[in-house]
Structure formats: C-alpha cells, structure tokens
C-alpha cells in the first residue's frame, strides 16, 4: 500500500530543485524560476507548488506578431501590445503560455476547482493509495450563518461563542471518527480502498497536478479571486495571482487593469451614465433597470441610490 506523505513529497521537490543544473535556450522567467518547486502554504494543510511553465511576456507578443526570436521590440512596446490585446479581447496570443501547478486542497475545494474544465488535471488516486488523516478545519472567523438572501453564501451575522465552540468541536470529532472508521475498514476488515474512502467527508485533503494556459487561467482568477467566491478557493486563487505577477509581469498588469478590476456594463447602464454625466437626474424606479442592476451600478460608481 502507498500512503501519501506531504513532507516526503515536499522534500523530494526541494531535492529536485537543488539538483537541477540544466541549461536552456528557451525563454525563462527569472522571478518564477526562483520559486519553482517551492511550497506555498495555503489553508491549514494545503499548498501550491509551481512544477513547470512555458512562455513569458515575450511569448505573447511574438505570437501576436507571428515573429521569431526574442527582443524584436523594446520592452515598452511589448507592454503596450499586451495592454492592447487584453483591452480588445484578442485572446489567442495568451494561450501561448502555460503553467503546471501541484496543488493540495480539501476535496470540496477541488470539486469547485474542476468546474474550470479548460485545463488538464491528474488527481491523487485514493483507489490506489491511502489518504492521510488531514482534514480542513475553518478558522473561527470564517464560521458564519447561512445568508438569507444568497443561497450559496454566508451572512455577516455573528454566531455566539458557545455556538462557535460547538461547531468546531463537531467538525473535529466528525473528521477524527471518519478517519478511524476508514482505517478500520481498510486494515481490520480488509475492505478495498475504493469503497473504504466513501466514508470520508469532503473536508479531507486531496492533491492534483493542474496544467492550464494563460487565457483560461485568467478566467479562473477573475472568478475565484472575486469577493463573492468561497473563501477557501479564494485563498488559493490569491496565491496563484501572486505567481502570475512573478511569471508574466506585463500580462499581470494588463489583467489587473482590464479584467480583474474592471466591470462589465450593459448598454442600458452606459446610457444612464451618459445622461447622468449631462446633469440629468435618474430615478431608480424609472431607470428601466432591475433592483439588482441598479444596486450594482450604484455600488460601482458611488451613486446615491435615492437619486
């Protein structure tokens, strides 16, 4: 039987990094090379590690120009071109860059993660190997009541101290009991691993290799770093955003400016803004927008909702 050992995997990755003395003529990212194979902790037992990558900012501009060789333009011209591509949604040049990550996360996070289907994934097999006694336990500040208006989110309502303590106690005991029964099924009752694992909750940690091109990575980051994304997957996305900055500084800058921190406005919203810029007062009830659309517009532009 093969048992997962995160510590041994981390040591092996560090050893690979230390032993790697290869030279290459391909374009490389100096800053990303510094963290290659290094472990970036996430949550209580999780991590992200960059395993491999292809391309740099120059790869994007070379693809757009369909030219050969590095240094065909000045850096400032490269930045301007990447900004133009991002601004006008010319997406195929961004597909020339790829990255492969080794990620360890709770299974419920992995199930959200694989909703992004435009990637190559190979997950740790609990049919072949035994899962460790590692479960995600939320920080106490993340424990909130269910939102009454958002069916997939939490409210700002504070739970009582007694309630919080009971929740944490239930989570810890439930995880511990589940792993004890899992081990009992495996070792004492000789049940096959593929069925013994069915007793484990989705808080147990799994691992996967995840390879994705830059275009689809930016879509992942746009959605999963958003404040409405679940906290746990957002923690991973924020770390990956930092990796992107080291890897492709020009593309990162353009992404943050034109995608990540930008907003989408339907035509009827832009029409209202044009009228407001001309001094016309718009009544929410007469704007033609739904309540939700008006609230989003008001929040984006600091508009008094009572105008």
Catalytic residues: 224
Pairing of strands 2-3, 129-130: parallel
Report residue 228 as tokens: 């409405």
Q: What is the DSSP letter of 115?
A: T
Q: Which residues contact 254 (CB under 8 A, 6 or more apart)?
A: 79, 82, 83, 85, 86, 87
Summary count for the chain: helices (H), strands (E): 12, 7
Number of Cβ within 10 Å of residue 212's Cβ equals: 21
Of 166, 170, 135, nearest in space to 45 by CA: 135
Residue 62 CA: distances (Å) to CA of 58, 78, 81: 6, 9, 10
């Amino acid at each position: 039987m093969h048992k997962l050992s995160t510590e041994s995997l981390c040591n092996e990755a560090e050893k690979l990094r230390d032993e790697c003395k290869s030279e290459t003529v391909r374009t490389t990212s100096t800053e990303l090379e510094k963290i290659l194979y290094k472990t970036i902790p996430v949550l209580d037992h999780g991590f992200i590690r960059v395993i491999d990558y292809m391309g740099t900012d120059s790869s994007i501009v070379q693809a757009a120009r369909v030219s050969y060789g590095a240094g065909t333009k000045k850096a400032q011209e490269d930045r301007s071109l990447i900004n133009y591509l991002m601004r006008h949604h010319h997406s195929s040049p961004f597909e020339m860059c790829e990255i492969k990550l080794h990620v360890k996360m709770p299974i419920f996070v992995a199930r959200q993660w694989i909703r992004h289907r435009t990637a190559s994934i190979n997950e740790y097999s609990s049919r072949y190997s035994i899962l460790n006694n590692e479960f995600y336990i939320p920080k106490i500040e993340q424990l909130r009541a269910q939102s009454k208006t958002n069916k997939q989110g939490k409210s700002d309502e504070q739970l009582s101290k007694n309630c919080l303590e009971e929740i944490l106690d239930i989570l810890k005991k439930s995880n511990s009991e589940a792993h004890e029964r899992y081990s009992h099924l495996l070792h004492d009752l000789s049940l096959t691993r593929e069925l013994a694992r069915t007793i484990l909750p989705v808080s147990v940690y799994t691992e996967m290799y995840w390879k994705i091109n830059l275009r689809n990575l930016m879509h992942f980051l746009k959605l999963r770093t958003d404040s409405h994304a679940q906290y746990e997957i957002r923690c991973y996305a924020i770390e990956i955003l930092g990796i992107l900055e080291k890897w492709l500084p020009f593309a990162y800058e353009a992404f943050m400016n034109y995608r990540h921190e930008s907003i989408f406005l339907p035509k009827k919203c832009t029409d209202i803004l044009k009228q407001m810029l001309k001094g016309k007062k718009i009544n929410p009830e007469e704007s033609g927008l739904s309540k939700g659309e008006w609230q989003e517009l008001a929040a984006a532009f600091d508009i008094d909702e009572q105008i």
